[in-house]
């Protein structure tokens, strides 16, 4: 399984937990990077999501957008992640042939 598919699966699991605004923004960035195939950017955003409160200001200049993760957002991201995993699975199958 590719690194992007592995991270997408981690993201699917993470959607089951609540997000604060910082985590929601990092999560959205992670999914965006994954969608465009930028695995390093996705991994960096994923890691930033776990920063403790005191370290977050070091990683971001200014205030992050205060946009909470809604159920509608989570459903949309879930569909995108499932699609990415399925697509990567088909690519993996073709390259195994």
Give me the pLDDT at residue 67, please: 84
- On the CB side of 97, CA atoms within 13 Å amount to 5
CA 78/CA 12 separation, integer angstroms: 6
Q: For 24-58, how does the pLDDT look when each residue is reduced to its tens digit (9 = 90+)?
A: 999 999 999 999 999 999 999 999 999 888 888 77
CA 63/CA 4 separation, integer angstroms: 28
Q: Are 7 and 42 in contact (CB under 8 A)?
A: yes
The model's pTM: 0.85
- Enumerate the domain spans of the chain: 3-96
> Under 8 Å CB-to-CB from 84, ≥6 apart: which residues?
4, 5, 8, 34, 35
């Amino acid at each position: 399984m590719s690194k992007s598919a592995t991270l997408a699966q981690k993201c699917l699991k993470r959607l089951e937990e609540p997000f604060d605004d910082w985590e929601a923004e990092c999560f959205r960035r992670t999914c965006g990077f994954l969608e465009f195939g930028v695995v390093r950017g996705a991994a960096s955003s994923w890691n930033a999501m776990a920063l403790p409160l005191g370290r977050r200001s070091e990683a971001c200049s200014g205030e992050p957008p205060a946009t909470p993760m809604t159920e509608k957002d989570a459903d949309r991201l879930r569909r995108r992640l499932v699609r990415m995993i399925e697509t990567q699975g088909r690519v993996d199958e073709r390259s195994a042939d």
